Amino acid sequence: MINKMDSKQKKRAQWAWYLYDFGNSAYAAVVLLAVYAAYFKDAVVGGAKGSLLWGLSLFIAGLVVAIISPILGAMADYSGRKKMFLFIMTAISTVFTGLLFFVEKGNVFLGMLLFIIAEIGYRGGQTFYNGLLTDVADENEIAKVSGNGWAVGSAGGIICLIVVLAMIMLNPGNTVIVRFSLVFTAIYFIIFALPAFLWIKEEPRPQEKGGKNYFQIALERVKTTLRSVKNFKEFIKFMIALLIYNDGIIAALDFAAIIGLVLFGMNSQSMIIFVIIVQFTNVIGAYVYGRTSEKTGVKKSLVQSLILMIVSVVGMMFIQNTVGFYIVGALAGYAMAGVQMLSRTMVSVFAPEGKSAEFYGFFSLTGRTSSIIGPLVMGASATGISAWVMNSLVKADVTGVGDANALVISEQIGHRIALITIIFFLLVGLMPLLFVNEEEGRREAKASVAK
């Protein structure tokens, strides 16, 4: 009877964990992908400079999260209150996402500030959300529960986008509705995050700090994690690859809406439809790669998905119409699911029994660090190249300063060429991945347990 009750409680806790992903995926879909990125670049800032400031905002938020996460993680672990820290980060993200409603044309600083804080809450919350995985899943369930969370989360993003699309289509050209979609997203996030705080039971386990402050504890934890993984050569090679190719993945995600806006003049409705297609193929990709990787091997499937991702970005450089953008986006969504889901699965492959939490901690640290550079490089490149093209046209007397058509063309050229930066990160990250030996990594994990 007790075991049955425990099983029910665990299942309910897992569903609460899934539903949190269901809610926070709405933030990623609406704020990062479909609505706010394009709105900020086009309506708030305007011109190629918007891409630079968007990339800079992402860089600042990512840098802050990379700095504070180890410290907050140490505080959460030592106090046994991951849920409390998750609640704080979720509150920050949802409140400031809702406040984005007040960002209007020309409110550049406000638009950046509110977004940066919302993004810090969103990214920082993922640290504690991922940390709760070991509280809702047994050692042998981690990969399965993680995959389920991915699929449920993608579905959450799709449903939120459908509602937002309906609101915008019923009120075409109304920027108030576009801004209100951010309030709706915040409320949606809150509703589906609540079960995590109600149903997930986290055992309080405060530990003695031994007279050390949390910064010292955080540094010691990072050192301990590094010592734990340093002898696992295949895992280290994989982490090096992840450190590089993840920059390309994050940049592709964060600039999808801006690419659609600049290259094809897509409006909010078209962009939301695009993201729904991407999210839908993302779910298919997660399902297919989840099944095929068991037969072909996780590393081989990951390599295939990275190659597909590279092909999709190369295709984006040459397509000339919206239909082509939808097709390439669908391929990217499918490939991206493989890259992100299989990257997470690789950790469970290389982690010795009883050390999954430490390996996932290192994976999380690497992921946070590697998401900083890509968006900034993409934004700076797009803006810089656009300005260079425009100046070249003016110097050659092809056009005059301030010519609207020339500005559009130079911006399009700049953003197409800047896509090379994403390809660079993906391609360079693929190289060390090719040298990862999955079977050897499995042997290292088993040998560690046997000692």
Closest C-alpha among 35, 355, 323 to residue 178 = 35
CA distance 281 to 278: 5
Sole residue written with tokens 């997660």: 286
Number of C-beta neighbours around residue 264 at 10 A: 20
Tokens for 397? 């007397």
Tell me the average confidence (pLDDT) per consecutive run of 10 residues in the chain, 451 residues long. Answer: 62 94 93 92 89 94 84 71 90 97 95 97 86 78 76 89 92 89 97 94 65 71 70 87 91 90 88 90 84 83 94 93 93 90 82 69 73 89 93 85 86 94 95 91 76 53
Phi-psi region of 297 (alpha: psi -120 to 50; beta: other; left: phi over 0): left
Which SS3 state, helix, strand or coil, does residue 193 take?
helix
- Phi, psi angles (nearest 5°) of residue 208: -75, 135
Sole residue written with tokens 């090719």: 434
Which SS3 state, helix, strand or coil, does residue 42 take?
helix
CA atoms within 13 A on the CB side of 73: 29
Sole residue written with tokens 């590697």: 370
pLDDT score, position 415: 93
Closest C-alpha among 95, 100, 163, 128 to residue 21 = 128
pLDDT score, position 377: 93
Amino acid at 52: L
**For residue 128, what are the CA distances in angstroms to 84, 160, 277?**
9, 23, 29
Closest C-alpha among 241, 325, 282 to residue 158 = 282
CA distance 99 to 387: 32
- Nearest 5°: the CA angle 303, 436, 432 is 75
414 close to 384: Cβ distance less than 8 angstroms: yes
Where do the domains of the chain lie, and which CATH numbers do they carry? 9-199+222-450 (1.20.1250.20)
* Residues whose CB is less than 8 angstroms from the CB of residue 368 and which lie 6 or more positions away in sequence, other chains included: 62, 65, 66, 69, 123, 127
**For residue 88, what are the CA distances in angstroms to 82, 93, 129, 132, 191?**
10, 9, 12, 15, 15
Phi-psi region of 173 (alpha: psi -120 to 50; beta: other; left: phi over 0): left
Using H for helix, E for strand and C for coil, what is the string for 74-125? Answer: HHHHHHCCHHHHHHHHHHHHHHHHHHHHHCCCCCHHHHHHHHHHHHHHHHHH
330 close to 281: Cβ distance less than 8 angstroms: yes
pLDDT score, position 3: 45
pLDDT score, position 450: 54
pLDDT score, position 231: 74
221 close to 207: Cβ distance less than 8 angstroms: no
- Nearest 5°: the CA angle 193, 246, 124 is 30
pLDDT score, position 352: 78
Amino acid at 244: I
CA atoms within 13 A on the CB side of 46: 7
DSSP conformation letters of 6-31:
HHHHHHHHHHHHHHHHHHHHHHIIII
254 close to 27: Cβ distance less than 8 angstroms: no
**For residue 118, what are the CA distances in angstroms to 68, 86, 124, 380?**
15, 14, 10, 22
